[in-house]
Amino acid sequence: MTADFPPLKNDLLLRAARGEQTERAPVWVMRQAGRYLPEFREVRAQHEFLKICRTPSLATEITMQPIRRYKGLLDAAIIFSDILVIPEALGMELIMNPGPFFPAPLDTPADIAKLRTEVDVYKELGYVFDAITMTRRELDGEVPLIGFCGAPWTLFSYMIEGGGSKTYQKTKSWLFKWPEESKTLLKRIADICVDFLVGQVKAGAQLLQVFDSWAGELAPHHFREFSLPLLKYISTTVRSKLAAEGIPTVPMTLFPKGANADLAAIAEGTGYDTISLDWCIEPSEARRLVGDNIALQGNLDPNLLYGGRDAIEREVKRMCASFRGGKASKGWIANLGHGITPGVDPEDLRWFFECVHKYSSVSYQV
């Protein structure tokens, strides 16, 4: 593990993830290094998306762009990469056209034979680790750096559908027709997730997030059968592997988008420090379901950023009041309920950050 990183100057995110009271809520947004920024589009005009992911210097530059633009307002950087690097590491061809597309998806369990039987993440995904180390040094301790991966169920869906889907017909057919083969593949994906996340911590990631972006597409009983056990496996195995190597563990966040009916089970059974919420549940209700020992993250509707500054301020104020519950901010990381979308005005996002700073502050009287 690299040990020569500068000391961290802003630890709000890490303290909130550990459930501590903070002087205000730390804030960052999912996809904060992305297409809404003109500086990102300038780089993207010169380089193909996957080339940026695979080139540590370019990934570092993109990761740093929002940190520079919103200096003093952001409390975390998240490494620029993509959740679909894991299917790529398994040997699947990935094309951005313009969205993610696998030209040879897995149609039946017989297609699993096309995948690599063993994946050396340091060989296949070392570019991500190099980008993390480079970015951590470039940050110079300004804010923590977040590493991430996709959850097994979400990656499994992309690998079978060949891309995004509105119905998940092919993926769900696998669960119904071939449940045991599905579980075997899901476990194989989970093992790579574990190695990938451990490698990110070794490279310098200070917090990890697991994105189960399609969790809400499963019926609750299927979520508990096909996703929840592997989410727990990832959190416990990452921690045990780090401990076995004498490496301090880092906080872990789970984003089970749409699985609000299972929040209590997620909080009780998965072992994550923080649960990230979508916008379809009130923060106060989420807190009731998960209890006081789990931090929460979220959960403004990303489309609110198109609503004008009065609406942004009104909704951020309401969100802060619901998370705070009349008290100082504790165990809460402010964020959107999903990733920021490409058409957002960067100055409206700045206003969102400024409103979070104001209305989550201990000095603001609810």
267-301 tens-digit pLDDT: 998 999 999 999 999 999 999 999 999 999 999 99
Catalytic residue among 11, 24, 75, 158: 158
Catalytic residue among 69, 82, 306, 364: 82
3-state helix, strand, coil in the chain (%, to 5): 50, 10, 35
Question: Is 31 in the active site?
Answer: yes
Q: Which residues contact 312 (CB under 8 A, 6 or more apart)?
A: 304, 305, 348, 351, 352, 355
Question: Is 127 in the active site?
Answer: no
Please indicate, yes or no, if residue 1 is contained in any of the structural domains: no
In whole angstroms, what is the distance from residue 134 CA to residue 128 CA?
10
In whole angstroms, what is the distance from residue 117 CA to residue 173 CA?
24
Please indicate, yes or no, if residue 257 is contained in any of the structural domains: yes
Catalytic residue among 15, 24, 31, 136: 31
Q: What is the dihedral of CA 80, 333, 212, 244, to 10 degrees?
A: 80
Place of tokens 């790579």: 192
- What is the per-residue pLDDT for 362? 86
User: DSSP label at 303?
Assistant: G
Range of the structural domain that residue 315 is part of: 12-359
Chunk the chain into consecutive blocks of 10 residues (it has 366) and report each block's average pLDDT, rounded to whole numbers.
82 97 97 96 96 97 98 98 97 90 96 96 98 98 98 98 92 97 98 98 98 96 96 98 97 97 92 97 95 95 98 97 90 97 98 97 78
Question: Are the C-beta atoms of 210 and 255 separated by less than 8 Å?
Answer: yes
What's the pTM? 0.97
Catalytic residue among 44, 69, 224, 309: 44
Domain CATH number, residue 129 = 3.20.20.210
Please indicate, yes or no, if residue 128 is contained in any of the structural domains: yes
pLDDT digits (tens, 9 = 90+) for 94-136: 998 788 999 999 999 999 999 999 999 999 999 999 999 999 9
- What is the per-residue pLDDT for 3? 57
Radius of gyration in angstroms for the set of CA atoms belonging to the chain, rounded to a whole number: 20
- What is the per-residue pLDDT for 1? 47
Is there a cis peptide before residue 299, judged by omega within 30 degrees of 0?
yes
CB hemisphere CA count around 50 (13 angstroms): 15
- What is the per-residue pLDDT for 366? 56
Question: Is 314 in the active site?
Answer: no
Please indicate, yes or no, if residue 5 is contained in any of the structural domains: no
Distances from the Cα of 152 to the Cα of 51, 140, 155, 192, angstroms = 24, 33, 5, 9
Please indicate, yes or no, if residue 261 is contained in any of the structural domains: yes
SS3 84: coil
- What is the per-residue pLDDT for 97? 75
Around Cβ 177, how many Cβ atoms within 10 Å? 11
Domain count, the chain: 1
Question: Is 82 in the active site?
Answer: yes
Please indicate, yes or no, if residue 73 is contained in any of the structural domains: yes
Please indicate, yes or no, if residue 365 is contained in any of the structural domains: no
Burial of 211 (0-12, 13-18, 19+ CB in 10 A): buried
Question: Is 11 in the active site?
Answer: no
Beta bridge partners of 96: 100
In whole angstroms, what is the distance from residue 6 CA to residue 15 CA?
18
In whole angstroms, what is the distance from residue 128 CA to residue 105 CA?
24
In whole angstroms, what is the distance from residue 237 CA to residue 240 CA?
5
In whole angstroms, what is the distance from residue 173 CA to residue 281 CA?
29
